[in-house]
Amino acid sequence: MPGDAPLLERLRAICGDAAVLTGGDMAAYATDWRGMFHGRPLCVLRPAGTEEVARCVAACAEAGTAIVPQGGNTGLAGGATPDESGTEVILALDRMTAIRRIDPVGMTVEVEAGTILQTVQDAVRNENRLLPISLAAEGSARIGGLIATNAGGVDVLRYGMTRALVLGLEVVLPDGQILSRLRHLRKDNAGYDLKQLFIGTEGTLGIVTAAVLRLVPLPRHRATALIAVPDIASAIALYARAQNEIGEALSAFELISGAGLDLISEHMGQTAPVHADWVLLIEAGSSLPGLREAAEKLLEAAFEEGWATDGVLAESGAQADALWQLRESLTEAEGKAGGAIKHDISVPIPGMDAFLQEAGAMLRDVAPEARLNVFGHLGDGNLHYNVMNVAKEDAARVNAALHDMVAAHHGSISAEHGLGQYRVAEWARLAGAVEHDLTHRIKDALDPAGLMNPGKVVPTRG
Amino acid sequence: MPGDAPLLERLRAICGDAAVLTGGDMAAYATDWRGMFHGRPLCVLRPAGTEEVARCVAACAEAGTAIVPQGGNTGLAGGATPDESGTEVILALDRMTAIRRIDPVGMTVEVEAGTILQTVQDAVRNENRLLPISLAAEGSARIGGLIATNAGGVDVLRYGMTRALVLGLEVVLPDGQILSRLRHLRKDNAGYDLKQLFIGTEGTLGIVTAAVLRLVPLPRHRATALIAVPDIASAIALYARAQNEIGEALSAFELISGAGLDLISEHMGQTAPVHADWVLLIEAGSSLPGLREAAEKLLEAAFEEGWATDGVLAESGAQADALWQLRESLTEAEGKAGGAIKHDISVPIPGMDAFLQEAGAMLRDVAPEARLNVFGHLGDGNLHYNVMNVAKEDAARVNAALHDMVAAHHGSISAEHGLGQYRVAEWARLAGAVEHDLTHRIKDALDPAGLMNPGKVVPTRG
């Protein structure tokens, strides 16, 4: 096929006609799952393998056509949705779903980028191993997207972000070359660690097509508790004690507000066994005996110190799952109650109490009618500070005011969701000149034509 | 001071006369600690703070003078030693030693780059926290160097490489700008994670001047065992069982050969309580009760399955320390026995047995007179495959043959020590064209004049 053949024709020749979607067939790919971001792609490509991805990317590069990579389309920042120009190509990885190899001894798994997280979790669990990425969208999020956004979730406290689990990557570069570093090695300091460039950069430097991920032992014992605390300072004191008492076994330390429990009760018909202005959902797991004993001791200490006012330690796996169901219903309940301006912020844990007080006072000033649904990963300093009942035209003002406060507290305006297209302007506003400069240098070095997921993460130069 | 003043004069004006060493004062900096790499620097700079580092770097950039950053000078690959031209400036961080802040609740520590690892370890231990980087040079290695080389050590199995512990960095860029990202956050997905560029790149893209590191809970209980195994396959079977039985508590799984034990006995006067062709030094730690019970159960299983033929579980901290003393004496014993051609390789764990057999057979062919001292971090797939009794003129041939075998086993020729100047040619020989290309693109984007630690990590272009 000659180089000047129309692009669609070339792409069909590469992937086959059925793998190049146009018109109404593109609907599920053109909009994000929440219906918040809408794009109008030129076409949707569904290549069957890495070679096809590479040939598609090379063809688009030659045509000067931009590419938006897409995994499970479960992102919260519009990172996988194209613009409205009708010129961008969505490259979906959803046909590349092979689990190539599970190594339970070396504790690694090699998968294609389109594999669904839960599919991998289930497969490695059969081998007594855990892939410790746990988030609400795990039934539809795909490995490539998790890597491209450096996804977080409820297990980060113990196991780190997705970056910490990536041992090897295969990436198609903006010019169609393939970088193949699918190594099953826990230690590799030979040369620049090039794979880091493609983790958390949301497809702006290349497209992840396959990965080797690190697995961990599957804990045999589990302890789950829901604890009412009198205030945030008590919650943080309990967190510090938990690190002393159960240490590495602590895997989740989640915060839910009383307002959040009310939303769940009202809209989901679920009632929590404890209620207070703030409650904690704490989870620990271990292969060692003695976990429950240590957990009980920790709770005793919490009551003695006055850090807990009420609480329940799950007596069974089913009861533990029910407690987690509360946490996982928050987003849906919030949606049913009319939605919210979502924030994904982190601040240093010792400053969390002051931050929440100052942010609350600021909001009463900026948006007196607002209602809050604050929840998230207190043990990571990461909260979803969601503001409900605010008029659409006030959203930008509320965003900016909250982000300014986060910056004043040395925090991050995007802890685990990434910038995508949603937060890129706020990043651009708050980042320093050196960060802007370095970001553009890296982007220009790898994608000089700016064809990889334009408008995401990297601000467009003025 | 005008821009065309001689460089030394400008540097003295920036740092003060006493902080610009020349002549014989440079001796301790010009040669690595083993005396293997010798350089002839123009001068040694010892700036007192980040601003001074930045001004020194800007002055050198303006003069077109290359800089070799140096931490504790404990590297094993010559990454901190200048060339013999007499034109390169060593920039030593050894006056920047402040521990700025320890946060035992948020579990972070902020330190200047010149702080000695053990100093930080001791300081955080007082707060019931652990900085989990553990290596033989910890009494002299400095934080900046550990980050610049992404150092490994005996705790990687559980806690990951140094990269996994870096939360924030302050870096002086090749043009003298300061990138300041000293965030005490466990989660931060706002924009490209620029700090990754400076971890493991050995000062070729900038100079780390300060860092925020993640801490972990200090385990309260410890179990240490020395186990004789009949063969490598048994060692690996025991490793897999250990992951099932004690899981996250397993922190070290070290291999020592019988030949290594003989070296220790002969040259250090230390006798191991067990002896075999292969022995394992296993360590676990936990804050939970029940660790010892689980460790005893694991050893019972090992004997039942025939994976262990002899062994001792330490009864006291002192006995545990004595077992570790054996492991830590290996390098000194090897040196006293005449030294070795050192290798720092990793291969996937399930292939380790075959690798060792094939490598042994290859060596009997290539260097029949060679004696081996193989030891290291079996649980990470990382061995120091050290070859003794080989003539100097045969070293390159032995290196190349072993590295070819590592490559055939999908391993790494530099697992934890970095490439420095020692292994850069071997990396260049074995890496693919895409890796070369990407490496140079990154280097050129950040250091277009090539003045940051030239000749290290990045091969000189032909």
Q: What is the pLDDT of residues B28-40, one digit of tens each?
A: 999 998 899 999 9
Asked if residue A451 is part of any domain, the answer here is: no
Q: pLDDT at position A368, please? A: 94
Class of residue A306 by CB neighbours under 10 A (exposed 0-12, middle 13-18, buried 19+) = exposed
Q: pLDDT at position A462, please? A: 62
Task: Tell me which residue has tokens 């090992």.
Answer: B302
B330 and B353, same domain (yes or no)? no
Q: How far apart are CA B14 and CA B3, in angstroms?
A: 13
Asked if residue B437 is part of any domain, the answer here is: no
- pLDDT (mean) for B392-397: 92
More confident residue, A297 or B461: A297
Band of pLDDT at residue A34, cut at 50, 70 and 90: confident
Asked if residue A462 is part of any domain, the answer here is: no
Interface of B with A in 117-146 (CB under 8 A): 128
Q: pLDDT at position A1, please? A: 44
On whether any CB of chain A is under 8 Å from the CB of B287, the answer is: yes
Whether residue A150 and residue B193 make contact (CB cut-off 8 A), yes or no, is yes
Report residue B391 CA to chain centroid gap: 27
ipTM of this predicted structure:
0.97
B227 and B190, same domain (yes or no)? no
Residue A67 has pLDDT above 70, yes or no: yes
End position of a domain, from candidates A34, A60, A92: A92
Backbone angles phi, psi at A156, to 5 degrees: -60, -40
**CA-closest candidate to residue A78, choices A418, A388, A403, A376:** A418
Beta bridge partners of B281: B226, B254
Domain containing A363: what range?
340-427
Structure tokens at A122: 């289930």
Interface of A with B in 79-118 (CB under 8 A): 103-108
Question: Shortest Cα distance from A210 to chain B (angstroms)?
Answer: 16
End position of a domain, from candidates B334, B353, B373: B334
Residue A178 has pLDDT above 80, yes or no: yes
Q: pLDDT at position A461, please? A: 81
Q: pLDDT at position A218, please? A: 95
Contact (CB, 8 A) for B189 and A418: yes
Residue B225 has pLDDT above 70, yes or no: yes
Average pLDDT along chain A = 96
Least confident range of A144-148, A331-335, B140-144: A331-335
A185 and A114, same domain (yes or no)? yes
Q: What percent of chain A has pLDDT over 90?
A: 96
Q: What percent of chain B has pLDDT over 70?
A: 99
Q: What is the pLDDT of residues B364-381, one digit of tens each?
A: 999 999 999 999 999 999
- pLDDT (mean) for A255-261: 97
Q: How far apart are CA B20 and CA B189, in angstroms?
A: 40
Q: How far apart are the first and last CA of chain B?
A: 38
**CA-closest candidate to residue A42, choices A53, A51, A32, A29:** A29
Q: What is the pLDDT of residues A121-158, one digit of tens each?
A: 999 999 999 999 999 999 999 999 999 999 999 999 99
Q: How far apart are CA B245 and CA A289, in angstroms?
A: 10
**CA-closest candidate to residue A20, choices A33, A6, A2:** A6
Residue A65 has pLDDT above 60, yes or no: yes
Class of residue A461 by CB neighbours under 10 A (exposed 0-12, middle 13-18, buried 19+) = exposed
Q: What is the pLDDT of residues A353-384, one digit of tens each?
A: 999 999 999 999 999 999 999 999 999 999 99
Contact (CB, 8 A) for B298 and B242: yes
CATH classification of the domain holding A242: 3.30.70.2190
Asked if residue A387 is part of any domain, the answer here is: yes
Q: What is the pLDDT of residues B319-369, one digit of tens each?
A: 999 999 999 999 999 999 999 999 999 999 999 999 999 999 999 999 999
A237 and A252, same domain (yes or no)? yes
A141 and A187, same domain (yes or no)? yes
Please state, as a whole number, how many other Cβ atoms lie within 10 Å of the Cβ of residue A460.
10
Structure tokens at B341: 């051609």
Residue B251 has pLDDT above 90, yes or no: yes
Q: In terms of DSSP bridges, do strands A345-346 and B278-286 run parallel, antiparallel, or are they unpaired? A: unpaired
Band of pLDDT at residue A289, cut at 50, 70 and 90: confident
- Please tell me which of the candidates B104, B415, B434 has its beta carbon nearest to residue A240: B104
CA angle B313, B315, B316 (to 5 degrees): 125
More confident residue, B392 or A112: A112
Please state, as a whole number, how many other Cβ atoms lie within 10 Å of the Cβ of residue A364.
11
CATH classification of the domain holding A152: 3.30.465.10
B210 and B103, same domain (yes or no)? yes
Total number of domains in chain B: 4
Backbone CA torsion sign across A141, A147, A148, A153: positive
Q: How far apart are CA B177 and CA A434, in angstroms?
A: 7
On whether any CB of chain B is under 8 Å from the CB of A410, the answer is: yes
Q: What is the pLDDT of residues B260-281, one digit of tens each?
A: 999 999 999 999 999 999 999 9
Give A17's contacts (C-beta < 8 A, 6+ positions apart). none
- Please tell me which of the candidates A150, A179, A458 has its beta carbon nearest to residue B189: A150
Structure tokens at B177: 């700008």
A178 and A148, same domain (yes or no)? yes
Residue A3 has pLDDT above 70, yes or no: no
Asked if residue A449 is part of any domain, the answer here is: no
Asked if residue B41 is part of any domain, the answer here is: yes
A263 and A301, same domain (yes or no)? yes
Q: What is the pLDDT of residues B109-141, one digit of tens each?
A: 999 999 999 999 999 999 999 999 999 999 999
B238 and B258, same domain (yes or no)? yes
Which positions in chain A touch B448 (Cβ < 8 Å)? none
Residue B199 has pLDDT above 70, yes or no: yes
B186 to chain A: closest CA residue: A380
Q: pLDDT at position B1, please? A: 44
Residue B383 has pLDDT above 70, yes or no: yes
Structure tokens at A201: 């950069």
CATH classification of the domain holding A409: 3.30.70.2740
Whether residue A419 and residue B458 make contact (CB cut-off 8 A), yes or no, is no
Which positions in chain A touch B427 (Cβ < 8 Å)? 190-191
Give B318's contacts (C-beta < 8 A, 6+ positions apart). none
Residue B2 has pLDDT above 60, yes or no: no
- pLDDT (mean) for B313-318: 96
End position of a domain, from candidates A170, A201, A217: A217
Q: How far apart are CA A85 and CA A103, in angstroms?
A: 45
Asked if residue A2 is part of any domain, the answer here is: no
Contact (CB, 8 A) for A107 and B253: no
Whether residue A350 and residue B103 make contact (CB cut-off 8 A), yes or no, is yes
B103 and B212, same domain (yes or no)? yes
A324 and A252, same domain (yes or no)? yes
Whether residue A185 and residue B438 make contact (CB cut-off 8 A), yes or no, is no
A86 and A105, same domain (yes or no)? no
Asked if residue A437 is part of any domain, the answer here is: no
Band of pLDDT at residue B76, cut at 50, 70 and 90: very high
Beta bridge partners of B225: B282, B313
- pLDDT (mean) for B428-450: 98
B198 to chain A: closest CA residue: A192
